[in-house]
Amino acid sequence: MTTHSIDFRIYYEDTDAGGIVYHARYLAFAERARTEAIRSLGMPASRLQEEYGLVFVVHDAHLAYKMPLKLDDIVTVTTRLIDLKAASCRLDQLCTRGDDVCAQVEVGLACVKVSDGRPARFPPLWRDLLQKLAPKG
């Protein structure tokens, strides 16, 4: 696997008074897509906490809006790994409607201990799982 894609329909709750997707919803779509991308690799994110006492936290995010999504559109969020370090990773997430790129989200995730919030290295199993989202070649 080099990427993960998932579709979401745009509902009224996702839009502003003009029927355009509210800017913060792109972050919510990206969050859901990341969760499902990790789950698709064979391990729900909740297992990281259950088995290792670790969680993913967003330490930064950059959104670039290209064109608006609207009520009833289907948005496809495609997630790929662009960098993997000992205790953090960067993901690129494209929000598309058909062939049109509507937004791009680049998000940095850190692996931290639940007990004290300090950074922690990804367990080897999780490094291997995340690596599956990296482009081949």
Helix (H), strand (E), coil (C) string for the chain: CCCEEEEEECCHHHECCCCEECHHHHHHHHHHHHHHHHHHCCCCCHHHHHHHCEEEEEEEEEEEECCCCECCCEEEEEEEEEEECCCEEEEEEEEEECCEEEEEEEEEEEEEECCCCCECCCCHHHHHHHHCCCCCC
What is the CATH number for 59?
3.10.129.10
| Interval 44-70: pLDDT, tens | 999 999 999 999 999 999 999 999 999
Supply the pTM of this predicted model. Answer: 0.93
Give the active site residues. 16
pLDDT for 74 beyond 90: yes
What's the structural domain count of the chain? Answer: 1
| Interval 102-131: pLDDT, tens | 999 999 999 999 999 999 999 999 999 999
What pLDDT does residue 137 have? 63
User: Which structural domain range is residue 59 located in?
Assistant: 4-133
pLDDT for 1 beyond 70: no
